[in-house]
Amino acid sequence: MNFKEYDIIFRNLKIVDGTGNPTFYGDIAISDDTIVKVGKVLDKAKEEYDCEGLTAAPGFIDIHNHSDISILTQPFAKNYVFQGVTTLVVGNCGESGAPIAENNTSLFLAENLDRNKCNFETFDEYLEVLENSSKSVNIATLIGHGNIRSAVIGMENKKPSKGDLEEMKKLVKEAMESGAFGLSTGLIYDPGVFADREEIIELAKVVAEYDGIYNTHMRNESDLLIESLFESIDIGRRSGARVQVSHLKASGKRNFGLAKTALDLMEYYRRFGVEVTCDVYPSTFGNTGLQNCLPPWTREKGKDEFLKILKDSDKRLRIVNELSRPSVEWENILLDAGFDETIVSNSVNLSEYEGKSITEISKLLGINPYETIFHILLNDPDTFIIVGGMSENDVQYILSHDLSMVCSDGLIVEFGKDIPHPRNYMAFTKVLSKYVRDENILSLERAISKMTNLPAWKLGLGDRGIIKPGFKADLAIFDLWKVDTKAKYGEPHHYSEGMEYVVVNGKIVLRDGNVTGEMPGILLRKDCK
């Protein structure tokens, strides 16, 4: 008998292949960057690992991530590798690494670029930097509507002229032909909040020409959740783009239960050819900039005018009045979360407040919560917060639904720095430990499919997301009974436990629970030919 020699064989595995099919047992053989045999492997390999008691799944794909720049500064991506994540999809919520232009240098990502490491302006130049950088995980990109709009007409509340719109469409076309997988919007953020539906439809039509996705942080996830969902579906219907609703939720106690209505509507409109799906993070707290919690009119003329408004006593009274009640025009995040569940996560100028709620800071300062918010924003308008206001029952319902995929809505973080959202460290492992193992909300097979095959299908990645011969060797191999997530609100900096091996493109980046130093990650480009 002639024996073949493979590069790696993982033996005696419980295999969850990503398709949703029942678990089976066997070995996985890898040559170069590809899975070549699954089942009983009699042949030999240069490296062999006995994985008795361990489960193998395709490497997890985080379909909603914000590591556009941090992948360049934190290339080992440890907080994701320890979760079994092998691919990050960046450029979400309307903000991507590029294009960067004179008009949009006040975008959050643009403001924080280290030009020594990030010397690019166009989207194609950004992708070249990503492609040529060493990294432990794969990166797929979306182009952000906020970057496009602001590059052409700035950050202010302006309607694009016909010429402006053509220029914006040209930027989308260039990004898609460079390898972007679609367009994202952040319709509560500047400058996306100022765009109307017709503008988005025109840009989404360009994406549809390349069979790309329209990924949207909707205009409202609270009192106008259903109206915002109708807008997203209409954009998909009229443009032909494939719709992905970002981090579906229903914020504010008065809206608890609307997640079911939203998913029912998504199922209904799928009958008529609108391909609409969603993602969800396993948390009842979100993460955003504090300035985004104020009414849009305060931000429509840029940061300098925003700060002037905060110093105007009459306008402060108007802001307080609007913040204290529901709105039919914008999403009142602070009202939904309440001051107890609005917690400072990152502030360069006011680091002493990190980890404290608005209520706690208000007591320290001896002023009311609204004045506390003004104080924080005047001293650091780029303060980030963690905000509650969501229902655990809704999270479980969305997570269990056939149309949902798992995401983190996080980014690669520097261990020990600031007090970020704990989902950066545990979104995927929390699903495995809490919702699969401990509470049996999901079967292991369904959960793995939501982390692997479903996002690969949505993106059009035909060679990832399944354990099958011929597919790329991205694997997460773990001990389900040891998977644990110690990261929590206020104490987020704990790597997930239980991952024994993580493989990216046939190279082991995590072995026996330790990072190996390998950097086999690649830039994934959509084939638009």
Q: Are residues 275 and 130 part of one domain?
A: yes
Domain boundary among 384, 399, 414: 384
Please tell me the distance from the alpha carbon of residue 387 to that of residue 333, in angstroms, as a whole number: 8
Furthest-apart CA atoms within the chain: distance in Å: 87
Structural domain span for residue 373: 295-384
Residue type, 323: L
Give me the pLDDT at residue 264, please: 98
Q: Are residues 300 and 257 part of one domain?
A: no
State in Å, rounded, how far the first CA of the chain is from the last one: 44
Indicate whether 168 belongs to any domain: yes
Task: Find out whether 332 and 222 touch, Cβ atoms under 8 Å.
Answer: yes
Site of tokens 């100022």: 194
The tokens for 13 are: 């595995």
Give me the pLDDT at residue 1, please: 40
Other C-beta atoms closer than 10 Å to the C-beta of 202 total 17
Q: Are residues 269 and 376 part of one domain?
A: no
* Cα atoms in the 13 Å half-sphere on the side-chain side of 213: 30
The tokens for 31 are: 């040559």
Indicate whether 376 belongs to any domain: yes
Q: Are residues 133 and 240 part of one domain?
A: yes
Indicate whether 90 belongs to any domain: yes
Indicate whether 496 belongs to any domain: no
Q: Are residues 199 and 184 part of one domain?
A: yes
The tokens for 370 are: 């609204």
CA dihedral 19, 23, 29, 33 (to 10 degrees): 30
Q: Are residues 336 and 255 part of one domain?
A: no
Residue whose C-alpha is closest to residue 278's, from 243, 330, 307, 251: 243
Please tell me the distance from the alpha carbon of residue 369 to that of residue 435, in angstroms, as a whole number: 36
Q: Are residues 357 and 282 part of one domain?
A: no
In CATH, what number is assigned to the domain containing residue 157?
3.20.20.140
Please tell me the distance from the alpha carbon of residue 375 to that of residue 316, in angstroms, as a whole number: 12
Dump strand ranges (E) for 174-263: 182-186, 213-217, 242-245
Domain boundary among 358, 384, 410: 384
Other C-beta atoms closer than 10 Å to the C-beta of 490 total 13
Indicate whether 520 belongs to any domain: no
The tokens for 353 are: 């407040």
**Coil, strand or helix at 297:** helix
The radius of gyration computed from the CA coordinates of the chain, to the nearest angstrom, equals: 23
Q: pLDDT digits over 247-304, tens only?
A: 999 999 999 999 999 999 999 999 999 999 999 999 999 888 999 899 999 988 888 8
**Coil, strand or helix at 240:** coil
Dihedral sign computed on CA atoms, order 148, 149, 153, 156: negative
Please tell me the total count of domains within the chain: 2
Q: Are residues 410 and 346 part of one domain?
A: no
Q: Are residues 209 and 78 part of one domain?
A: yes
Instruction: Collect the ranges in the chain with pLDDT lower than 70.
Output: 1-3, 106-117, 528-529
Please tell me the distance from the alpha carbon of residue 510 to that of residue 443, in angstroms, as a whole number: 25
Give me the pLDDT at residue 111, please: 58
